[in-house]
Chain A
Amino acid sequence: MTALEPTKLDRPRTARDRSAADAKAAKSVTAKLRRAEFGDRLRSLALAAPLLVLLALSFGIPIVLLLSRAVYDPTIADALPQTSQALRGWNGAGLPGDAAFLALAADLRDNQAMGTAYELAKSLNARVPGARSQVLKTVRQLEAADRPPLEVMKAVPFWSAPGTWPVIESGTHSVTSFYLLSALDLHWNADGGIERVPPQQAIFLQVFMRTFFVAAAVTLATLILGFPLAYLIASVPKGLAAILIVAVLLPFWTSILVRTAAWTVLLQKFGLVNDLLLWLGIADDRLDLMYSRIGLIIAMTHIQLPFTLLPIYSVMRTIPPSQMKAAYSLGAKPFTAFRRVYLPQVFPGVMAGCLLTFILCLGYYITPALIGGASDQLISNFIANYVNVELNWEMAAALSFILLVFTLALFGIFARILGLDRLKLV
């Protein structure tokens, strides 16, 4: 190994002992080596490049594009060019002048002519509930053209309502904080400050709280179930430990969908869990476990248990049993020895397992979709719903943004205090 180690030549000490000619030769060798090593680095980078480029295209760009939709929504600005122009000097108080009404009427007619009126109505509706029908109604009346446009506009109360024009004005700016604030149940009030939306419109904080609650409950449950089992596996002889670890790995290797499917079978009204509860006398009657919060938490706990257990086990395995014996022989009671000697050492493993499970729980989608009821849907389900059903990409993007911030922040904590090599995949 040392014979081939080139870096020794770098040391000036070797050169100093020799004649000037030798020193010169050594220098040129060093320079050559550096150049060669630089070439190696470049070749290494070239090896990594294809995957990095592919990941950037298939994963990086899609996510950046999605997140950008949360703050960039040109639909209204594109649809209402004349209105944007007319509103430029408006101070935002009260109603704008008649010029703005006329510009809006002209824009609406243009949209109708180009067939984009529905698109605009939908986009406005996302910001002002009920705007869709008002826009479409106004467009129809403008098209009828039996009255002057200004009269039509003034006759529809929606266009003179206090909340309408500020929203149109904010919509004419393509960059918007509207959706991100909405995702946190906040909005701009008339005075330009940020405040909570009225309780009947607030939905997302509750969903985020629910997601955190479910994640915390599952993390706690996996810790309570997993910690003693990890301890047992780390303490028994090797052969028995291998059998026990297989019991942990078999469910770990089964896909989340298959395990969720198994739980939908188990949690049925006449399923095995209800049979067991009746037999044990815990429940007097068959419970509705499907589409319930408790059913969801049970299934997620089953899926996440190995994720919590394995990091704890990998730390426990490294703690020699003699330490606890030493503590006993020094007079420590079992609980004291556990608390003062064992627990501080396994704590990094506990943190790693719990953080991993918590992070993964925040992104659960399949299991809540299949086992949770309407009031047990987590944030991922709302994101999917905004894409699939409501076709509101901006809201989906804003919720993704917030979820991603939480996830990456926790992952950052994980990487910071525990190191990425704890994230063992095998």
Chain B
Amino acid sequence: MLLSPYPTTGERIRITLLWLWCGMVILFLLVPILVPVPLSFNSGAFFIFPLEGISTRWYAVVLGTQRWQSAIGNSLIVAFGTTLIATTLGTLTAIALSDEKLPGRRIVMPLLLSPLIVPVVITAVGSYLFYARVGLASTYAGIILAHTALASPFVVVTVGASLTGFDRNLMRAAAISGAKPITSFFRVMLPLILPGVLSGAAFAFVTSFDEVVVVQFLASANQRTMPLEMFIGLREKLSPAITAAATLMMGLSIILLVVANLLARRSRRRPSASE
């Protein structure tokens, strides 16, 4: 596709240069995220190749010491709490917004997306200021609330995308058949948009699990999450345990986001498949 059937020399040179350049860019993209993986299995305490030997001692540190264990626990509490609230409320909002005639629709959407655009330090500092006054600072509830603001746009957008393929007449048909709105939601709409909802939930989970700035301002020493432990560790002393934690976090986000994207793609493809 790149080369025409009878390429000129100039064209050959251009295409070769393009491939070379792109090869370098791909190396630039991939090598940095892959480097921590072998280093996390290093038996030595330094970050230098070649590795001294293979060991899982740094994973033992991350999964076995109390400090990291409680960080992982905190991360899971916050991420599950955020996912639950953001997915429930985000799905309801997406359903409301899928109604084209909803008044104020054009204002609501930018407002919903604004947490993604506002620099996160401003969100974090503002939450710290306000939550301290209402007694939510240094609580799980406070962190979950702040994370919900950051995560819900993803749910609204993914569920919204899967709703564009949803035929509203199905809901009318259910209503005519005597189903109450809540029944038709659970029996008709939810099964059809479920991939979109699950995909949104995965995005929400990853957003919260990876978040560090808000946590840095809102969490007390008891609520340190895994990214926050990593951030503190990186500031104080670079230990290979951080590469192990980074590898674990990277693995988790990549797995969840691959699933999320496959689900999102499936839910968007559905309308063409059913036609």
Chain A: residues with CB nearer than 8 A to chain B?
Answer: 1, 4, 37, 40-41, 43-48, 50-52, 54-55, 57-59, 61-63, 65-66, 69, 225-226, 228-229, 231-232, 235-237, 244, 247-251, 253-266, 268, 270-272, 275, 302, 305-306, 321, 325, 328, 334, 359, 362-363, 365-366, 369-370, 380-381, 383-384, 387, 393, 396, 400, 403-404, 407-408, 411, 415, 420, 423, 425-426
Contact = CB atoms under 8 A, between A and B. Distances in A.
Given A262-B36, A302-B28, 13 more contacts: A37-B101, A41-B99, A66-B126, A66-B130, A228-B22, A254-B33, A257-B231, A258-B210, A261-B230, A262-B33, A266-B32, A272-B49, A426-B260
Contact of A255 (B35, B118, B249): B249
B129 A404 contact: no
A48 B110 contact: no
Contact of A365 (B110, B120, B129, B210): B120
Interface in B27-80: 28-33, 35-36, 39, 47-49
A365 B39 contact: no
B234 interface: yes
Contacts of B253: 253-255, 258
B29 A40 contact: no
A233 B250 CA distance: 25
Contacts of A235: 1-2
A55 B29 contact: no
Interface residues on B, range: 35 or more
B273 interface: no
B93 A62 contact: no
B210 A257 contact: yes
Interface in B80-115: 85, 89-90, 92-93, 95-97, 99, 101-103, 108-115
A62 B1 contact: no
B17 to A, nearest CB: 9
B125 A58 contact: no
Given A228-B22, A270-B48, A247 B121 contact: no
Contact of A423 (B29, B96, B102, B113): B113
7 contacts: A4-B169, A229-B26, A258-B253, A272-B49, A365-B119, A380-B121, A400-B122
A334 B15 CA distance: 12
Contacts of B95: 44, 47
Given A44-B96, A365-B121, A423-B113, A262 B89 contact: no
B245 to A, nearest CB: 8
A54 B89 contact: yes
A425 B108 CA distance: 17
Given A48-B92, A325-B4, A407-B119, A425 B158 contact: yes
B92 A47 contact: yes
A135 to B, nearest CB: 25
A370 B110 CA distance: 32
Contact of B35 (A58, A266, A362): A266
Contacts of B33: 250-251, 254, 258-259, 262
Contacts of A63: 118, 122-123, 126
Nearest to A240: B1
B119 A380 contact: yes
A387 B30 contact: no
A404 B19 contact: no
Contacts of A229: 21-22, 25-26
Contact of B128 (A231, A254, A387): A387
A40 B39 contact: no
Given A235-B2, A411-B117, A251 B152 contact: no
B254 interface: yes
A83 to B, nearest CB: 28
Contacts of B36: 258, 261-262, 265
Nearest to A261: B246
Contact of A51 (B30, B89, B125, B169): B89
Contact of B234 (A43, A370, A425): A370
Given A231-B18, A404-B118, A52 B212 contact: no
A196 B234 CA distance: 39
A41 B250 contact: no
Nearest to B149: A59
A407 B117 contact: yes
A275 B31 CA distance: 14
Given A231-B18, A253-B257, A366 B213 contact: yes
A47 B145 contact: no
Identify the interface centre among A62, A244, A365: most chain B CB within 10 Å of its CB.
A62
B243 A265 contact: yes
A257 B229 CA distance: 11
Interface string B223-263: 00001001100110010001100100110011001101100
